[in-house]
């Protein structure tokens, strides 16, 4: 596994955004870019399987499973509103699940930014949506305070703002669960 490549920031032009729940803006990398990243960093030695699909009135939810070799490393739910066909919604929920699985491996595929925070702080550059910036990848000073995993500056900044702690994506998820 090439960790450095796995966790490397995506170029800004590959990052998309959409409005999420509760006033959050949801920044994400398309599943095709995530798949390409996994192929490169894991040398094609991974697979993704849809375990379950749930179709609700307005939304579909997909449970997907990521394996490296024969080992299940992660299961994650992806969801999508039904705006057109159920097939399209299932496809984008599957993409979402791939992203969430990859994020657990510290692939920087998903970011949430509270819209109100961005508005409050106006043009303050530090608080603008955390797009990747050009940065040296050689000497990465940003590390998770829980597990010491290398993280990006964006994840560092976001985590510090949100949790007052420097956490990788995985430990942010855990912090979020505990906060509920
Ligand atoms: Zn961590």
Determine the distance separating the centroid of ligand 1 and the alpha carbon of 172, expressed in angstroms.
Answer: 8
Residue 122 has pLDDT above 50, yes or no: no
Q: What separation, in Å, do the N-terminal and C-terminal C-alpha atoms of the chain show?
A: 33
Q: Using the predicted structure, report yes or no on whether residue 113 has a pLDDT greater than 70.
A: no
Tokens encoding 119: 């508005």
Between the CA of 90 and the centroid of ligand 1 the distance, in Å, is 30
14-23, 67-76, 93-102, 150-159: range with lowest mean pLDDT: 14-23
Say if residue 93's pLDDT is above 90. yes
Q: What topology does CATH give the domain 3-179?
A: Enolase-like; domain 1 (3.30.390)
Q: How far is the CA of 164 from the centre of ligand 1 (A)?
A: 14
Q: How does residue 45 score in pLDDT terms, banded at 50, 70 and 90?
A: very high
**Residue 68 above 60 pLDDT?**
yes
Counts for the chain of helices (H) and strands (E), in that order: 6, 6
Partners of residue 66 on adjacent β-strands: 48, 74
> How much distance in Å is there from the Cα of 86 to the middle of ligand 1?
36
Query: 3-state class of 74 per DSSP?
Result: strand
Q: What's the gap in Å between 144 CA and the centre of ligand 1?
A: 5
CB 30 within 8 A of CB 95: yes
Q: Tokens at residue 128, please?
A: 């603008």
Task: For ligand 1, an ion, list residues with CB under 5 A.
Answer: 144, 146-147, 149, 168, 171
Out of 8-12, 37-41, 129-133, 173-177, least confident range = 129-133
> From the CA of 82, how far away is ligand 1's center (Å)?
34
Tell me the CA–centroid distance for residue 151 and ligand 1, in Å.
9
Q: What are phi and psi for residue 51, nearest 5 degrees?
A: -90, -45
- Separation of 169 CA from ligand 1 center, angstroms? 7
Rounded to 10 degrees, the C-alpha dihedral 17/147/8/50 comes to: -60
Query: In the chain, what are the domain boundaries?
Result: 3-179
Residue 173 CA to residue 180 CA, distance in Å, equals 11
Task: Flag whether pLDDT at 1 surpasses 90.
Answer: no
Span 96-117, average pLDDT? 82
Of 122 and 44, more confident: 44
Rounded percentage of the chain residues whose pLDDT exceeds 70:
84
């Amino acid at each position: 596994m090439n960790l450095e490549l796995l966790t490397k920031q995506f170029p800004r032009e590959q990052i998309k955004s959409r409005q999420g729940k509760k006033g959050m803006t949801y920044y994400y990398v398309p599943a095709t870019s995530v798949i390409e990243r996994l192929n490169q960093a894991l040398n094609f030695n991974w697979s993704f399987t849809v375990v379950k699909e749930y179709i609700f009135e307005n939304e579909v939810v997909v449970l997907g499973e990521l394996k490296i070799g024969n080992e299940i490393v992660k299961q994650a739910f992806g969801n999508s509103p039904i705006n057109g066909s159920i097939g399209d919604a299932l496809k984008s929920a599957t993409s979402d699940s791939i992203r969430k699985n990859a994020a657990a491996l510290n692939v920087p595929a998903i970011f949430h930014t509270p819209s109100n925070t961005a508005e409050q702080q106006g043009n303050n550059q530090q608080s603008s949506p955390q797009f990747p910036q050009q940065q040296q990848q050689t000497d990465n000073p940003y590390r998770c305070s829980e597990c010491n995993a290398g993280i990006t500056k964006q994840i560092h900044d976001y985590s510090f703002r949100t949790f007052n702690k420097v956490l990788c994506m995985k430990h942010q998820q855990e912090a979020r669960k505990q906060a509920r």
